[in-house]
Every structure is written in structure tokens, then in C-alpha cells.
Amino acid sequence: MSSNSESTTTTSNSLDDEDDSPWWNNVVFQHGDLPTSVIPDFPILSTTISSSFSDDNEGNSNNNNDGKPLIYFDSAATSQKPSIVTTALTSYYHTSNSNVHRGAHTLSRAATEQYEASRDTIANFIHASSRNEIIFTSGATEALNLIAATYGRANIHKGDEILITELEHHSNIVPWQLLAEEKGAVLKYIPLDTTTGCLDWSTLPSLLTPNTKIVALQHVSNVMGSITPLATITPILRTLAHPTVKIILDACQSIPHMPVNVQTLDVDFVAASGHKMCGPTGIGFLWGKEEVLNAMPPYMGGGEMIDEVSMGGSTFAESPARFEAGTPSIAQAIGLGVAIDYLTGIGMSRIEEYEREIGGYLLQRMMDVPGLTVLGPQSAEERGTAIVAFVCDGVHPSDLGTFLDMEGIAVRAGHHCCQPLHSAVGVSHSARASLYFYNTKEEVDIFIIKLKETLAMLGGGGSDNTIDDDFVPFF
């Protein structure tokens, strides 16, 4: 792996007299060697997709002679996994398979050591003050629900206020709706400024009151790609909200893509999913300040989370055991630790710099496609990662995604678990291309060619912008 360095994208918008090539041929990524160096670590990225994949009940589309090389532009939904992670899962089951914490035998000690080592890895990765601040969960959804069901139920009362935003993922909306309904609390939201594609932060002073007890935010939008300016807004939150306000951060689209230091964020909780950062599915984590976690009631009752149990009552362990009842996802936690080691070996700053290069390039090229409207900020500087959601005149996103799949290109179509956001911008669904550090400039160029061809075939770019909202086979 090469060392971290300043990242620039060289773009020439003017052509030499003897150079008739389009501007994008003159673009050079400073970190363009990154995807080339890591692609061999991801076997799935070397497979092919058959145009008849949907008819292949055996799923044997890989390596067909008539297949198209896979271009995977759906990493915001889930990232691909390097071999080192899948090998770690197999190794655990083949050599260390045992329950953790409960046994004195060799296998149990080995499993416990690997499981707890992953907790240390996560703590170091996000600069937690203590390993006890890391709670393993099934993902960010469970982490956010855990906060609502424990801290929320214990501390939110009738008349208290919860503030969220209009661009949140449903996992950061529904738990607060349920809590507000249960407790008689008031749920408010920061609206989207549709002219900029960012949240309207000017509304904060009018939305915040001394009754605001919880503020829940996405760090980076999974649709708009916009990044929340925490350094600017957290002082406002701390000043105008209740003195004990808790700021909760959905970091699913930030932690996999950029350095994150919880010591400098000035938030109280952070939720993340492992499967979006090269780790296995079914694992994620919650970070919280240790003193806050230890004051919260348990999430579930059962083994592991207790101090003492009698028929007259129970007392509970401190964090993290308090929130990890039952047998955990041991192999997945171990795999997540290996994935984080892998990302650390590449360098999170290097990943961030490359994604800003390729994300800016993707954005610029897509804005040149006739009949296509990009959702969110129109400049790369306002975007946190290489996520570009878009709609096309006269073409339903699901149709577009289906036909791009025939070309081997994987994009997502649907509302991306953000229906309020789509309602705010006046569309029901969108298509989304989301890239990671293993994607290349050449893949973007092929995507643009096939996107234009597909839109032309489907009649895109015309004046008829009517779509059938009932036809949404893919989400």
C-alpha cells in the first residue's frame, strides 16, 4: 500500500488544438492506484453478470462466457468483502468455534480472545475512551432502537421534545416516532432545503427549546451524499437545547469512508453497521459515553448481561455486557475486527481522499447526462462520500436499474429507506450509484456510456416525467 499523500484531481476543461478528446480523458486521479491495488482482495469484483441472471434459478451467472464484467455501484447498501474477512469467518468455525465468556476450555478462551480483540479494534478505530464504550449490535438499526428503548424510555417524558431531520434513514425516524407516541413527547424535524440539497440549518434556533432532550442526525446522507457540519451545529444544539440533551449520530455512511474520532465530534452516541465497511452482515456497534451507558437500563434480559439473579430480582452488569444478552454474533464480530484492520492498513485518510476524487468525477459526469437530475448538493465539496442519487425524465428508476443490470452494472432503485426525503424533493423513488475505494475511473466511464444508452432505449430525456409509482420491484 502506498503512503498517504495530498489528493488532487487534474481536470482539463479546455482542449489543445491537436487534442480532440473529451475533457474526461484528461482527468487523472492522484490516488488512482488504490483500486488497482485492492481489487484482487475482492474475488466477487472479478466475476461476470449474465443478462439472463434473473432466469437462472441456480444463480450460476458468474464467469459465463456471455456475461458482462461486474461494476458494483451499490456500496451504500452493502460493501463487498475482502478475502481476509471471509477467511476469518471460516477460520473461526474451523478452529475456534465455541461460545464466549462462559467456558474455561481452550476453544472458549480462543473464541473469547478473538471476540474481545475486535471490541478493542473498534474502540481504537474510532478513538473511544474505553473499550467498555463499544456495544456489539446486529447493526445500526438495532443500535438506534437500543438507545430509544433504553435511554429514551428512561429519560423522555410527556412534553419533552425529540429533534430529527427530514433526510434521515427510516431507522433514525421510526424508533423516535414510536418513543414519542409512547411517552407523549413532541417530535420535530429539521426540513430539507430543496434548493441546495442540504438541511436548512437556519431553522435550528426556532426548533430547539429547553425541552429538546434528544437530537438524532445522519452524519452523511445515504441519498443526498451531504455531510452534516457537526462542528458548526453541535455548539448550537448544546446552547439552545436542554442541558442534558443527547446527540445521536447515524454514522453508517461516514465511518466506512473517512476518519472518525468520537472524541472530537461532541456527540453522545454513534451507530454504525459492519456490512457497509467490508465486514459481515448481521453485526454493527453502538458507541456511547461510558458513564451514560452504565446509567441506562438493559435492552434485553438474559444470560451475560446480569450481575446476580435470584427469584426475588436481578442486578445487571456494567457496559458492555449489560447490553449484550445471550450468545452474540461471535464470528461476525471477529470478521468486523478483521475488516477494520484491513481498512486501517489502507488508511482511512487515503480512502477518503480517493473517494472525493472519484465521487467528484462521477458527479460531474452525471450532471452532463441529458434528462438526468442529480439529487442533493451540486458540488463535490458539499458531499461526504461518492454517493449520487438521481432521477431521469420519463424513466422509472426500477426500469433503469433492471436494464443496467443486464450490462453488469449494479445500482440501487427505490426510496432507499428515505421516503420523507423523497417526498420533500417531489419524487417517490430514485436511482443511486454509490462507490467505494475499489471502484475505478474506467468503471465510471463505462457506467456513463451504458446509462446514456439505456436512457435512450427507454425514451429518457423526453418531456413525459410520469412514472408508475406502484411498480417498484427493487428497493
Q: How many CB atoms lie within 10 A of CB 1?
A: 11
C-alpha cell at 42: 475482492
Contacts 24+ apart (CB under 8 A), 465-471: 465/393, 465/394, 466/394, 467/394, 467/395, 467/396, 467/428, 467/429, 468/396, 469/428, 469/429, 471/396, 471/398
Instruction: Look at residue 320 and give its three-state secondary structure.
Output: coil
Q: CB–CB of 116/328 below 8 Å?
A: no
198, 278, 392, 417: the catalytic one is 417
Instruction: Look at residue 395 and give its three-state secondary structure.
Output: strand
Catalytic residue status for 417: yes
Residue 343, H or E segment: helix 330-346
Residue 307, H or E segment: strand 306-310
Instruction: Look at residue 264 and give its three-state secondary structure.
Output: helix
Q: CB–CB of 24/365 below 8 Å?
A: yes
CA dihedral 157, 163, 166, 172 (to 10 degrees): -60
What residues act catalytically? 417
